[in-house]
Amino acid sequence: MKVAIDTGGTFTDILFFDEEKNTLWPLKIPSTPAHPEKAFLRGLLEVTDVAQSKPALITTIIHGTTLVTNALLQQNTAKTGLLVTAGFRDLLEIGRQDRPELYNLQVEKQPPLVPRELIQEIPERIGPDGQVLTELDEPAARRALRRLHQEGVKTLAVSFLFSFLNPRHEQKLGQLAREFFPEEHIFLSSQISPEFREYERTSTTVVAAAVAPLVVDYLKVLLKKLNQIGCSLAEIFIMHSGGGMLPAKEATRHPHQLIESGPAAGLIAAAHWAKLLQLPQVIAFDMGGTTAKAGVIFDGKPQYTVDYQVGGEIHRGGKNYGGYPVRFPMIDLTECGAGSGSIAWIDAGGHLQVGPQSAGAYPGPASYGQGGEEATVTDAYLLLGYLQPDNLLGGRKALHPDLASKAVQDKIAHPLGLGNRQAAQGILTIINANMLRILRLVSLARGYDPRDFTLLAYGGAGPLHACQLAEEMGIKKIIIPPFPGLFSSVGLLLADITMDFVKTRILLLENENISLLQTIFSLLKQEAKAWLKKTSSAREKSALFPSADLRYQGQNYELNIPFSGEKFTTELITSLLSAFHQLHHQFYGHSDPNEPVEVVNLRLKAVVKGPKPQFPPLAKALHPLSESRKSFREIWLPQNTKKGLRSIKCPVFRRDSLRAGHKIKGPALIQETNSTTFVSPAWHLLIDYQGNLILER
């Protein structure tokens, strides 16, 4: 018995999976953002009851959470202290010289997570070859630790120069720090990010330290409550941003890896579906209640990045997008504040804006009737007829059209001199424009033609917007998978247990360095195998996946090249060089096989594979769709001339009444418990044998 639980800012999604019966029970309930464990536990008990099981029978719980992302976006982090090598106190302030908007002179950087007064310099120095140049000044270190403790610092980050080559000084300071701070609140850069680039390594360590108390406290409460309801025998795993799972207690030592916990699970599920449907190029698009996410998948594999920016306007892979750098092999996705709960507002110039603020689960959109007074995307859906007032979450929550109308009228329509439905359509137009931005960032901005891709849309709100977004992007095929509103939870069930290991050593990739490369690789394998021995059981399959970060000598950026084999050989060197030149040409449009190539990092991903759910085929349709299987609802669409709106009588189908082979011509609405799909007038829908909605135009 497995349970996958993805806690978002607006909804908590639960899937109960019985491995023996290969049966899934879905559930979607409102989140409790102030105490996310409450919705987690309530959903767990409710879905267990629906499945006619007991908490004591659950063997595995996999959890995705937005706890870390929300803490960084809201600057709700712990008071953090930072210890650095003498002379490097301003490292976080200086950062990098390039800017997120090159020609915008008014861009303001995010304030460092650690203010300058909580950064202490420690006399010590490790050289660029790992040799000790100046011994650690222990009395000075104790004074600095005492000073930070007296200032009320709750958590500590330590980042010394070249500690990735020789961690001795950091380890010694970590031991001294235990006199003042709990061990789980002390983070050393040589453990968190043992690779070069001082600013990114320090930033990653600071992010981990800043969110650690929140993660540690949350998991302590959660594990205690799970024991109380009888789940004491269940293994608890947390999804990390790299698309794998970590044991819950291990996640407290790597809290920075939980930044894109839930969204990464969605990409894992999307990659599985792309492989299942043999789709070579897919754009995965997820719109939930608070944010929208997008990423690309090639040949059934999500893309990865080791550089990620968090806490800025947009979370995305790459460098210098106005947030806090985090270095860790993560699934490459882009995220913005655009969800069904996003709040519509009018800026100082009198222009309509939507998001990034969200009404969340509480008070929620005005139509929830929970005291919310702001107009949101959900309220716009309701006014335009896309949602059935009494059918949100399968009837668990009622929507109030009168409250939605009042909010849109008071906050948007009246100030702009528009009718209510015109204002509602304006809200949807703006939110679509916001989401098109991230779709273009993962495709056009990286040299990919979106017309060559299939759009796989999921999330509670994603299927409502899929046709409009696809039309703007020139995409001609859309897939809406089963359980679209719970798709990240599906990804949790499909994920493996993984851990990444890295060692930095900058040297030329040539035959003369084979022995040294082999020594470094052997050390990596020792670490990975020790972790596998501790984490996996004999019945589970495990594997190691090596890769190397390579660059032309003198470059300031690297490309990651996977490889296979247990030993470095002349043949492996030749293969790596060939793959690097080819990938460099693909990424940048040029390459030079005559230029020397450097190894910067060797990486190793350890993977423990577990059983995956098998989704049963959908029954074949024996007859064409009958009129009795549909109802009608008035919806409002933009005119072809883009002036005003027109009302149409739109057919509405229940998804659970559709069978493989059924065809529907748009416009149509496909309703299900956890989501609603809108089929635009120019689109045709076919239900395949796996239960996917396939839309084409």
pLDDT of residue 691: 92
For 423, residues 6+ apart whose C-beta sits below 8 A from its C-beta are: 352, 375, 380, 408, 409, 412, 413, 416
CA 582 to chain centre: 29
Q: What is the pLDDT of residue 641?
A: 58
CA distances from 109 to 119, 198, 322, 476 (A): 19, 19, 6, 39
Tell which phi-psi region holds residue 303, choosing left (phi > 0), alpha (psi between -120 and 50) or beta. Answer: beta
- Name the architecture of domain 261-323+431-489: 2-Layer Sandwich (3.30)
At 432, give phi and psi (nearest 5°).
-65, -40
Q: What is the mean pLDDT of residues 62-71?
A: 88
How does DSSP classify residue 22? Answer: T
User: Which residue has better confidence, 410 or 540?
Assistant: 410
DSSP 224-250: HHHHHTT-TTSEEEEE-TTSSEEEHHH
Task: Give the strand pairing for 597-609 and 541-552.
Answer: antiparallel
Give mean pLDDT, residues 504-528: 93
**What integer best gives the mean pLDDT of the chain?**
91
Is the pLDDT at 320 greater than 70? The verdict is no
pLDDT at 141 (0 to 100): 96
* Phi (first) and psi of residue 374, to 5 degrees: -85, 145
Give 586's pLDDT tier (boundaries 50, 70, 90): confident
Question: Coil, strand, or helix at residue 514?
Answer: helix
State whether CATH 3.30.1490 applies to domain 497-609: yes
Comparing CA positions, the residue from 288, 243, 242, 303 lying closest to residue 269 is: 243
- In this predicted structure, the answer to whether residue 504 has a pLDDT above a threshold of 70 is yes
Spatial distance between the Cα atoms of 166 and 630, rounded to a whole number of angstroms? 68
pLDDT, tens digit, for every residue of 260-313?
888 999 999 999 999 999 999 999 999 998 889 999 999 999 998 888 888 776
Which CATH number is 2-72+216-255 given?
Answer: 3.30.420.40
pLDDT at position 210: 95
Q: Is 83's pLDDT higher than 90?
A: yes
Q: Coil, strand, or helix at residue 478?
A: strand
Per-residue model confidence (pLDDT) at position 394: 66
Question: Where does the pLDDT of residue 314 fall: very low under 50, low under 70, confident under 90, or very high at 90 and above?
Answer: low
Which position has the token pair 């205690």?
A: 224
Strand order in the sheet with 645-654: 630-638, 645-654, 668-672, 675-679
Q: In the prediction, which pLDDT does 211 show?
A: 94
pLDDT of residue 104: 78
Mean pLDDT of 335-340: 88
pLDDT over 70 (residue 628):
no
CA 100 to chain CA centroid, Å, is 21
Cα–Cα distance measured from residue 303 to residue 272, given in angstroms and rounded to the nearest whole number: 13
Is the model's pLDDT at 534 over the cut of 70? yes
pLDDT, position 321 = 58
Q: Which of 622, 673, 536 is nearest to 244 (CA)?
A: 536
Confidence of residue 109 (pLDDT cuts 50, 70, 90): confident
> Are 246 and 252 spatial neighbours (Cβ–Cβ below 8 Å)?
no
Quick one: pLDDT band at residue 103, thresholds 50, 70, 90?
confident
Q: Mean pLDDT throughout 510-526?
A: 94
Token pair, residue 414, equals: 């009246």
Length of the chain measured in residues: 697
Residue 555 Cα to chain centre, angstroms: 29
Give the model's pLDDT for residue 107.
75
What count of other Cβ atoms lies within 10 Å of the Cβ of residue 154? 18
Residue 426: CA count within 13 A, CB half-sphere = 22
d(CA 426, CA 651): 24
What per-residue confidence (pLDDT) applies to 463? 97
Query: CB-side exposure of 15: number of CA atoms within 13 Å?
Result: 26
pLDDT at 597 over 90: yes
Across the range 344-365, mean pLDDT stands at: 91
Q: Residue ranges of the alpha helices (H) in 51-117?
A: 67-73, 91-94
Q: Are 343 and 376 in contact (CB under 8 A)?
A: yes
Q: How confident is the model at residue 627 (pLDDT cuts 50, 70, 90)?
A: low
Lowest mean pLDDT among 154-158, 389-393, 491-495: 389-393
Q: Element (H or E) spanning 306, and its range?
A: strand 304-310
* Sheet of 304-310, strand order: 316-317, 304-310, 324-331
Report the range of poorest mean pLDDT among 225-234, 411-420, 429-438, 607-616.
607-616
Helix %, strand %, coil % for the chain, to 5? 35, 30, 35
Rounded mean pLDDT, 32-38: 89
Q: Taking 70 as the threshold, does the pLDDT of residue 364 lie above it?
A: yes
> Residue 218 pLDDT > 90, yes or no?
yes
Query: Whole-angstrom Cα distance, residue 393 to residue 597?
Result: 55
Q: pLDDT at residue 240 above 60?
A: yes
Model-wide pTM > 0.75: yes
